[in-house]
Structure 1
């Protein structure tokens, strides 16, 4: 039954929906992910001006690294290896396609999450698909919002947390001989110390951990590329030809390449799942499109940069040799590939990278679970604390248990999660384009930093408190308006 549902969801339903939303919004937004690509960096630099610790706000950059913490995980190391093993090198091409389309999808869902976010009264915000479904589509769609929250809790809060713990413990055991129980206990203690501090502590840890872990992994990939620079054109040619069946079938042919590229691409960058919007909504920004642009960039980081790094490490190595009947797959393939390039210490490096990636993902998964619970029972600290204890126990259990069935179940619930969110995004296309049009219009009028005024959109049922800028930020915005052309001030 799980196999049948997975084939139906990933091989047919999601393929259509992902293309409909990704390509549809790319065209409708006039390629927003490319038009504002350069602006992504300016927004991140300017986000510190809108970060005011004394008010308890989280910055755009903190929300970005928190989402990258979730996007960058086992899928970037083991998932890419699985995609190449089962779908051949062509799967990498379709992962790129999913990533580039996913940038537009992520812009839409994260912009909507910001638009419909809810102020918590302590300087933080809550938001995500459940919120934009219930507020944006109206009460008659509350059932879909509730269903989404349940699926989010089951998939990320529970299943993926256990899976990440299992990946860390087994990899650590293979590399260092540490018993999985000890790894699980150590990981559970670290997770517990952080999650009991809430979203602000998670964001602070991620702000330092994520750039370090992603930067280190990209650096070693660049070293590998440098050592094999003359082979890179041949690998790119292999990827493109395999994607369109122009090479002898490797890993199942063109159909398997597309299926694995789409499935593992979405699993890795999560664009369309609706998971990242839960953390995108926490940022204090002057306009919803700001965070939409930044979150589009996080998809680029995940798929086009980090997944590609893993793919090239594997395809440039002698460890990947399907003609020989080599059975090495998953994390073991990535470890063997890096060891082939730099020596046996490469296996240890992959294990440490997986440890950091999975650890940051567990923190991210916890917050998604907490946010889903908050939708049903707002700011219930007893419920949150009980969930935190459950997560700590789950990390221990996951490290010591064979989770093959859990993985199959999680694939199904993740597919259903994506279907629910993508249907909501299609229904909310117009509000998403409306917010983008507001941003575009201010940019055309010469306003360097557009400001969102919730009062201009009374029909959207927004939380006005979520869009109240602090006095000093409002003054800064007015000064910027004063320097803008007269047409913009009008």
Structure 2
């Protein structure tokens, strides 16, 4: 049954919806993910003006690194290897396509999450798909928001937390001989110390951890590329040819390449799932589109940079040889490939990278679970503490348990998450374009830092209190963005 549902969702329904939303919004928005690619850096610079507000909200940069912490996980190391093993090098091409189109999808969903975010009694924000479903589509759709929240809790808050623990513990055990139980206990203790501090502590840890772990992995990939400069054009040609079935007997053919590329691309960058908008909504920004642009860049980091790093490490090595029939895949393939380039210490490097990626993802998954619970029970501290204890227990249990069936179940629930969110994005397509055009119009009018005026969107169910922006923050942001602060 799980295989049947996975086949229906991933090989038929979701591919169609991803194309409709990703390609459709790319065209309708005049390629927003490329038009504003350079502006993203100015937005991040201007976001520093919002770091000192009276409520201590997360800045746009903190929301970015927190979302990257979630997007960058085992899928970037093990998932890419699985895609190459089963779908051939062509799967990487389709993963790139999903990433580029996913940037537009992420822009849309994160912009909507910002627009419909709600202010909490302590001055912080909550938001995400459940909120833009219930407030964007109307009260009659609140049941769908509830369904989404349950799926989010089951998939990320519970299922993926255990799966990440299993991946990290087994990889660490293979590399260093550490018993999986000890790794699980260690992870549980560290994660517990962080999540009991709430989203602000998670963001502070991610702000330090994510640049280090992502930067180190990209650096080692650049070393591999430098060692194999002459072979790079051939590998790129192999990827493109395999994507269209022009390389026989590699992977599972063009169908497998497309399905694995789409599936692993979405699994890795999560564009369209609606997971990242839960984090994007927390940021204190001057305009919803500002955070949409920044979150589009997080998809680029995940898929076009980090996933590609793994792909080139594998394809430039002698470890990947489909003609040999050797059954090497997943993390083991990435470890063997890097060891082929730099020596045996490469295996340990991959294990440490996987541990850091998995650790950061567990923090992110916890927050998604907390946010889904908050939709049903607003800021219930006892409920949150019970969930935190459950997460700690799941990390210990997941590290010691073979979760093969759970992987298939998680694929189904993740597919259902994407289904609900993508249908919602289609229904809110016009609203997303309105928000984008408001941002565009202010830039054309000479405002270097567009500011959201909810009064211009009085027909939408927007929380006015969530858009009370301090005038001095606006002035500082305008100055950093190139204005005169008037």
Instruction: Indicate whether the TM-score tops 0.5.
Output: yes
Q: Partner of 2:429 in structure 1?
A: 429
Q: Partner of 1:217 in structure 2?
A: 217
- Determine helix, strand or coil for the equivalent of 1:469: coil
Q: Partner of 1:173 in structure 2?
A: 173
Q: Partner of 2:16 in structure 1?
A: 16
Does residue 1:388 correspond to 2:388, yes or no?
yes
**TM-fit CA distance, 1:53:** 5.4
**TM-fit CA distance, 1:471:** 3.8
Query: How many angstroms apart in 2 are the aligned matches of 1:186 and 1:28?
Result: 48
Query: How many angstroms apart in 2 are the aligned matches of 1:334 and 1:480?
Result: 42
Query: How many angstroms apart in 2 are the aligned matches of 1:143 and 1:189?
Result: 36
The 1:201–1:477 alpha-carbon spacing in structure 2 relative to 1, beyond 3 Å, is: closer
**TM-fit CA distance, 1:431:** 0.6
Query: How many angstroms apart in 2 are the aligned matches of 1:476 and 1:294?
Result: 19
Write out aligned runs for 1:199-210 (5 A). 199-210=199-210
**TM-fit CA distance, 1:477:** 6.6
Write out aligned runs for 1:42-191 (5 A). 42-52=42-52, 54-191=54-191
**TM-fit CA distance, 1:250:** 1.1
- The two structures have a TM-score, normalised by structure 2, of 0.98
Query: How many angstroms apart in 1 are the aligned matches of 2:454 and 2:57?
Result: 19
Unaligned runs of 5+ in 1: none
Query: How many angstroms apart in 2 are the aligned matches of 1:356 and 1:481?
Result: 34
- Determine helix, strand or coil for the equivalent of 1:433: helix
- Determine helix, strand or coil for the equivalent of 1:460: coil
Q: Is the 8 A contact 2:80 2:264 kept in 1?
A: yes
**TM-fit CA distance, 1:473:** 1.6
CA deviation profile, 1:128-154 (whole Å, cap 9, x unmatched): 000000000001111110000000000
Q: Partner of 2:276 in structure 1?
A: 276
Q: How many residue pairs end up in the alignment?
A: 486
Q: Is the 8 A contact 1:446 1:484 kept in 2?
A: no
Q: Partner of 1:31 in structure 2?
A: 31
**TM-fit CA distance, 1:123:** 3.7
Query: How many angstroms apart in 1 are the aligned matches of 2:61 and 2:266?
Result: 23
- Determine helix, strand or coil for the equivalent of 2:459: helix
- Determine helix, strand or coil for the equivalent of 1:55: coil
Q: Partner of 2:302 in structure 1?
A: 302
The 1:478–1:344 alpha-carbon spacing in structure 2 relative to 1, beyond 3 Å, is: closer
Query: How many angstroms apart in 1 are the aligned matches of 2:222 and 2:477?
Result: 41
- The two structures have a TM-score, normalised by structure 1, of 0.97
Query: How many angstroms apart in 1 are the aligned matches of 2:231 and 2:457?
Result: 54
Q: Is the 8 A contact 2:128 2:281 kept in 1?
A: yes
Does residue 1:192 correspond to 2:186, yes or no?
no
Query: How many angstroms apart in 1 are the aligned matches of 2:415 and 2:457?
Result: 33
The RMSD of aligned alpha carbons is 1.5
Q: Is the 8 A contact 1:448 1:480 kept in 2?
A: no
The 1:347–1:157 alpha-carbon spacing in structure 2 relative to 1, beyond 3 Å, is: same
- Choose 464-473 or 299-308, whichever is displaced more: 464-473
Does residue 1:445 correspond to 2:483, yes or no?
no
Unaligned runs of 5+ in 2: none
Q: Partner of 1:337 in structure 2?
A: 337
Query: How many angstroms apart in 2 are the aligned matches of 1:449 and 1:89?
Result: 42
**TM-fit CA distance, 1:121:** 3.3
Q: Is the 8 A contact 1:339 1:345 kept in 2?
A: yes
**TM-fit CA distance, 1:456:** 1.3
Q: Partner of 2:401 in structure 1?
A: 401
